[in-house]
Amino acid sequence: MNLFSQSLLAWFDQSGRHDLPWQSHITPYRVWVSEIMLQQTQVKTVIPYYLAFMARFPTLADLAHASQEAVLAHWSGLGYYARGRNLHKAAQLIMQQHNGEFPQTFADIVALPGIGRSTAGAILAIALKQRYAILDGNVKRVLSRYYALPGWPGEKVIETDLWLKADALTPQARFADYTQAIMDLGATLCTRTRPKCAQCPVASTCQAWSTQSVAQFPQAKPKKLKPIKQTVMLILENVHGQVLLEQRPQQGIWGGLWSFPEHESVAACKASLNMALQTPPAEQQSLIEWHAIRHTFSHYHLDIQPVYVRLVEQQAAPYNGVWVNQHDLQNGFTGCDNPLGIPAPVTKLISLINVDASSTIKTNTSKE
C-alpha cells in the first residue's frame, strides 16, 4: 500500500465520517442515490433530502414505479433537477433491462443516464467491493494540491492526468474505505477556502504544502462572463387564494417541474392573459409588476419579472394549468397525496404574494 493511501486510511479510521445516512445498510441503490445527490451539493444540504427521499422511495422498485412528479417533488429545492429526472429514468431502465437488480459491471452502470465515470467508480467501490478510482470535485482539489498540478482540472489533458494519479493511489485493499476517506479529506480538511493543512494526514508529502502554495491550487476555471436572460412569470391568484401552475416541458430548465406561466415580455403576458381569460383588462383586478429577482444557473443568470394578477371572480384554470393552494406550496406539500416538484424561484415568489404589492419588494438573488 502506498504512503498516501496508508496515511489517509489511518486518518480516516480515527477522524473520518462514519455515521452518514448512506453509510448504514449499504446497498448499490442507497449509495447511488447519495452519490447523485452529492454531485455539486454539500453533505449538510443533502442529508435531510436523502432521508426524506429514502423514506418515500426505500427501494429501487419504489423509485421506478413512482411518478416523475412525486420524484421531483422530493427533489424540490435541491437544484440541478436533471439529476432527479435521470435517477428516475435510470431506475425504470434497471427494472426493464436488469430485472430490477442494480447492474454489477462498470460498463452497465456507466451506461445509465446521469452516471459518469466517477459516480460509477464510487458505487462499485463502496457498494459492490470492486476496485475503481473516483475523481469528483473534492478529489480533483486534493490531487491538484498534492501534486501541485498547474492548470484548470476541467481541461481534458489535466483531467486525464488526474485520473491516472487517482487510479495509482487507490489501494488494492480497503478501497471502499479509501473512496470515502479521500472524499472526506476534500470535504473536511482540503477545502476550497481555508484548508486545514496542519491537520492533513498527507501534508508531509503534499507538494503544494511544502512550497507554501496551497492557495494556488487547483487553478480556477478561466472566467467567462455569464450571459443574462430574461423572462416574465405570471402569478395568477384566484378568489380562493390559489395560484396557477403549469408543468414545464421535459426538456430545458426545470424540466417536468411545475412553475408559473412564462412570457417573453410584460406586454405579451397581458395579451396572453386577456385571451386566456376571454375578458378585457378592465374586468380584472389591478395587474402589478413586482421587482425582478435573479436566479443563477451554472452557465447564465435568469432575471425573472413577476407580474401579479388577482382574479375578481372564479375562473377555470387557463394555460393547461392547475390551481394549487399556497399553503401546500409553502409547506412542501406535507401530507399531500400528489405533491408537485417546484423550482426554488417559484417557491420564493409564492412567499411574496402576501406582501403588500404597493410596497417595495427588494431584488433577490438565488442560485440553483
Identify the active-site residue in 35, 155, 159, 237.
35
Strand partners, 308: 235, 288
Q: Is 279 helix (H, G, I), strand (E, B) or coil?
A: coil
Pick the closest to residue 178 from 229, 134, 112 (CA basis).
Answer: 134
The amino acid at residue 291 is H
What DSSP letter does each residue of 171-212 carry, written as one string?
A: -SSSHHHHHHHHHHIIIIIS-SSS--GGG-TTGGG-HHHHTT
- 35 catalytic, yes or no? yes
Apex 54 CA angle, 52 and 59, nearest 5: 155
Pick the closest to residue 135 from 113, 151, 158 (CA basis).
Answer: 158
Q: Which three cell numbers stand for residue 280?
A: 378585457
Asked if 152 contacts 158 with a C-beta cutoff of 8 angstroms, the reply is yes
- Long-range contacts formed by 348-352: CB under 8 A, 24+ apart: 348/293, 349/233, 349/235, 349/260, 349/290, 349/293, 349/304, 349/306, 350/243, 350/326, 352/290, 352/306
Strand partners, 263: 232
Asked if 368 contacts 297 with a C-beta cutoff of 8 angstroms, the reply is yes
Show which residues are catalytic: 35
